[in-house]
Chain A
């Protein structure tokens, strides 16, 4: 708290507000998103259109849940047989452990076998700030602040030393990458290691957390002002006139009309259909078996929750 007092009153107020909201959310059994999403209509629209698109092609929804099943779009590295072998290996690994659905902004707990640790296992809790890589190379980064020290750990998704990946809070953020949390106030990336998992009811869409973080004053690790970030509130405070001018000069508004660039970055729908047709059935089967197992487990659990 002593750290907070030194900052300006408005910052303290903002942080306190955030704390209160977070605590309330942790206490309430309802998913907090159910209240917050309908308020913002603009963000609603893409969700609706996505649902419509999904109604046409149910496979396309999977590309958000399992992005690593799509290969790297660079034609120089593509080979249908290699991709197929890779997918069978990935499915085999998924049969061993439950790799759940998660997004950038979700809070995960990862347990790995660690030959260096005392009990030979190591558990880390943190917010997923980045997720990248295709196939067996898929990896994600967790960030947390432990003892006032920011720590980040990178994990391979299909590493056989990973014993479990648990989603403590399933949600999305406003941006694709949360690397700016490195320059934000530490409150925004502090999560307790003994956090309880929050269970979303079946069938609810994944909530989007519209929290906007506050950055520390400069120097920053990157030029955040040029990246058009949605999840940062106070970026303008720290800018000088010079930075604003440079930002305007560096803008590339024509990028979004570059259809070739879009095409090169993505896998065409025809290719995706083949891939999803191959793996969809097995992924569904895996999900069903997981659900059965988890249902069996929940019979024992409720009493401990009440007590």
Chain B
């Protein structure tokens, strides 16, 4: 009984009372992510135990890789985000995280929060610079609010 109480209190733990399939390491449609910035909506969604779900990955494979832009359903709203840490197998020297992390951004690439409280892979610096166009959205603003790189 105490354990069930503990699991209800613990927001990080995503296991619910009902049976779920084994965790999916790939970010596909409807996979759940972890918001790692301190934006109001993200914090509330994680605290309530209702993590955002991917409803679109903006690349041709529809599988999210590190640095990809995704559209997530969070607290009944549609928000865009950038994947900043992946659970699936990574190439050599690229860190692999224990959860699929996302940072919420708006259409111009400006992050909704003002701090990221987990480490960010350094390779993201290069990836986001490549994805940024001079007249389009500027994704490198995300790097400015990171607290730590690994």
Contacts and interface: CB of A to CB of B under 8 A. Distances in A.
Given A151-B96, A153-B93, A6 B126 contact: no
Interface string B1-15: 011001101100101
Interface string A106-138: 000000101111100010100000000000000
Contacts of A221: 22-23
A148 B93 contact: no
The secondary-structure label for the interface of chain B is loop
Contacts of A217: 3, 7, 15
B98 A147 contact: no
A72 B149 CA distance: 36
Interface residues of A, number: 31
Contact of B10 (A6, A116, A153): A6
Interface residues of B, number: 36
Contacts of A216: 13
B92 A139 contact: yes
Contacts of A75: none
Given A114-B122, A147-B119, A182-B98, A155 B3 contact: no
A153 B150 contact: yes
Interface string B24-42: 0000000000001000000
Given A155-B92, A219-B22, A8 B6 contact: yes
Interface of A: 6-8, 112, 114-118, 122, 124, 139, 146-156, 159, 161, 182, 216-219, 221
Given A149-B97, A150-B99, A159-B92, 9 more contacts: A124-B95, A146-B118, A146-B148, A151-B98, A154-B96, A159-B93, A216-B13, A217-B3, A219-B22
